[in-house]
Amino acid sequence: MPGIFDRDITLLERSLEFRAKRNNLLASNVANIETPGFKAKDLVFEKALGEALRSQEPGPMVTTNARHLDGRNATPLELVQPRTIDSANPVGSTDGNSVDLEREMAKLAENQINYQALASMISHKFMELRAAIREGE
């Protein structure tokens, strides 16, 4: 394990960062609920984070030398970038605004709960480290 901060902490930290960014976009969607022509946006990152998490697994090719390439497509967790998408609204409105209030509020709540869960988990990680440092005191 390199250092005392393992990959879980990096993963939690990146997730927290993306959830905070997503919250910014969702709040902006709600604020612009009556702006003509405004397109609702969302941030997707779960898949990219999942792929980055698997990037440390060995690739499809066998390596017998440190300089061999194993063919895996590795983006380190630290470099994962979220993607902004237009959230589709099948109903739509006549003024070109694509904000669906119910869906945005549901996303906000979901994002908030996930954020709080992640924050609790990272807190717990630090508590574990603290316990180890203090020899379980």
- CA distances (Å), origin 45, targets 104, 108, 128: 17, 16, 27
Handedness of CA 28, 44, 110, 8 (dihedral sign): negative
103 counts as binding other proteins under rule CB under 8 A: no
9 counts as binding other proteins under rule CB under 8 A: no
Angle (CA) 72 76 82, round 5°? 110
Contacting range for other proteins; rule: CB under 8 A; set: 49-57, 58-66, 71-79, 117-125 = 117-125
The set of residues, in sequence order, having a beta carbon less than 8 Å from that of 46 and lying 6+ positions away, is none
**Member of 15, 87, 98, 111 binding other proteins (CB under 8 A):** 111
93 counts as binding other proteins under rule CB under 8 A: no
Question: Rounded CA gap, 137 and 135, in Å?
Answer: 6
**Member of 79, 105, 106, 133 binding other proteins (CB under 8 A):** 105
Interacting residues with other proteins (CB under 8 A): 16, 19-21, 23-28, 30-38, 41, 84, 101, 104-105, 108-109, 111-112, 115-116, 119-120, 122-123, 126-127, 130
